[in-house]
Structure 1
Amino acid sequence: MDPVQIARQMVEARFPGARAAILGGSANTGWRTAGSDLDIVVFLDGPPAPFRETTERDGVPVELFCHTSESYEHFAERETANRRSPLLHMCGEGVVLIDRDGFGRRTRAAARARLDAGPPPLSATELEDHRYLLTDLIDDLDGADDPDELVFIADRLLIAVAELILLAGGRWRSHGKWLLRRLREADPKTCQELLSGYRQVVCVGDRAPMRRVAAGVLDGVGGRLLVGYRRDAPAGFRR
């Protein structure tokens, strides 16, 4: 059955008074697989929202993200500050299932505009933090003599490089498969080189290709940062 139809029936049966609902995620895209779940954002006028629940419909896993207009805005603002907003992506890229008064269409358009505007830029301090992390990981990669430790270091370096490429380019960061998808979109050449280098580390222990990619990304944002790096404890931490 069509995922949009399943999702709409789910909402109509479970939330007959819903103000709006939007189907997001991979279910209605070319990335859909046999195991894709249905990510549905449901807007209610009040309790029991806000809540999140995993359920199923006709054997298909369903992730429900139920919000009031106020809770949606709160979570969207919090995710935006973190430069990763699954909620904005679900709404801004999704399909409106139900729209009682135009709120669904307005929410989708506003989310799309916020996505297009991009996340907040990195501050100078945040960029230094990322430079320090990459410097440290590259040094760990160089110095590792345990092949098992090398795999874990390479794994962390893979994620750190991918996130820095996105953040330095004013792009939204993400996790898991969506991190790969956003990196491919932002910089397909470096993405392929990074993946190839990672596989060289994991499969044959050759760290040189991945190191070259990571060092190149690091050079592009100001270069190595290690000695002299300092961060004071947050205000109010000391007694």
Structure 2
Amino acid sequence: MHNLTSYQQFFEDDCRRARPSLPTMVSEGIILKDDGVVECIKKEAKKLLVKGPEEWSLETINTKRYFITDALEDFIGCSNRGEEIFIANTLAELASEFVLRTNRKWMGASKWTVRSLRKYDEEFTKQLIEAFDRFYRTGSKTAVIQLVDHILQPYGGRLFDGFSLGKSNLE
């Protein structure tokens, strides 16, 4: 339950994390009773959803590239099936987040990740699902590696050498 002001903080928090749960629920919800206030909140939610999440900074993009590269290198070098599965899961989440956020699209979790990806690009989503499904079924990593490299390529590709967090260039 929210009152006429409490929902605003939840809208802000959801938008900041790029997972607009409450704005989506409000925008898609059916109004049972309204004295003219709920319709305004519903319009506010729809406006937020159309606007999309904040654009990532170059620093954020590079940080995410680094973490994707780290997971990809672990994935490539791993020969333990159990570890490969968990690394692949992490890689799928990181790659999905990267694609959606670099394109200023909302994210989701669990089933909402796939729904968010499909809403953004049906063909890309199909490729992503097929690449990871092939890995899970056969152990072949090639399609996953190629897809992740394709995702990173417009932003400079893999990022490892020379990257550091929390240090200035003078250090």
TM-score, normalised with respect to structure 1: 0.67
> Which of 193, 200, 203 matches 2:127?
193
Which residue matches 2:23? 88
Which residue matches 2:33? 98
Q: Partner amino acid for 1:76?
A: F
Query: By how many angstroms is 1:209 displaced?
Result: 0.7
Root-mean-square deviation (CA, aligned residues, Å) is 1.3
Query: By how many angstroms is 1:222 displaced?
Result: 2.5
> Which of 145, 149, 173 matches 2:83?
149
> What is the 5 A alignment of 1:116-127?
116-127=50-61
Q: Is residue 231 from structure 1 mapped to residue 165 from structure 2 by the alignment?
A: yes
Q: Partner amino acid for 2:58?
A: A
Which residue matches 1:110? 44
Whole-Å separation in 2 of the counterparts to 1:160 and 1:116: 24
Q: What are the Cα deviations for residues 16-71 of structure 1, in whole angstroms up to 9, with x where unaligned?
A: xxxxxxxxxxxxxxxxxxxxxxxxxxxxxxxxxxxxxxxxxxxxxxxxxx111221
Asked if structure 2 preserves the Cα contact closer than 8 Å seen for 1:168 and 1:221, the reply is no
| Runs (5+) with no aligned partner, structure 1 | 1-65, 234-239
Which residue matches 1:68? 3
* Greater relative CO (CA pairs within 8 A, separation 6+): 2
Percentage of matched positions with identical amino acids: 28
Q: Which runs of 4+ in 1 moved over 6 A?
A: none
Whole-Å separation in 1 of the counterparts to 2:154 and 2:30: 38
Whole-Å separation in 1 of the counterparts to 2:142 and 2:118: 22
Whole-Å separation in 2 of the counterparts to 1:93 and 1:131: 34
Whole-Å separation in 2 of the counterparts to 1:149 and 1:138: 13
Q: Is residue 169 from structure 1 mapped to residue 103 from structure 2 by the alignment?
A: yes
Whole-Å separation in 2 of the counterparts to 1:120 and 1:216: 23
Asked if structure 2 preserves the Cα contact closer than 8 Å seen for 1:122 and 1:168, the reply is yes
Q: What are the Cα deviations for residues 101-147 of structure 1, in whole angstroms up to 9, with x where unaligned?
A: 11111111110011001111001111111111111111111101101
Q: What are the Cα deviations for residues 50-104 of structure 1, in whole angstroms up to 9, with x where unaligned?
A: xxxxxxxxxxxxxxxx1112211011112211111201111122222221x1111
Whole-Å separation in 1 of the counterparts to 2:2 and 2:19: 18
Q: Partner amino acid for 1:72?
A: Y
Bigger fraction of residues in strand: 1
> Which of 207, 211, 233 matches 2:145?
211
Q: Secondary structure at the match of 2:140?
A: coil
Q: Secondary structure at the match of 1:227?
A: coil
Which residue matches 2:118? 184
Bigger fraction of residues in helix: 2
> Which of 133, 137, 156 matches 1:222?
156
Whole-Å separation in 2 of the counterparts to 1:85 and 1:185: 14
Asked if structure 2 preserves the Cα contact closer than 8 Å seen for 1:81 and 1:120, the reply is yes
Q: Partner amino acid for 2:139?
A: G
- Give the total of aligned pairs: 167
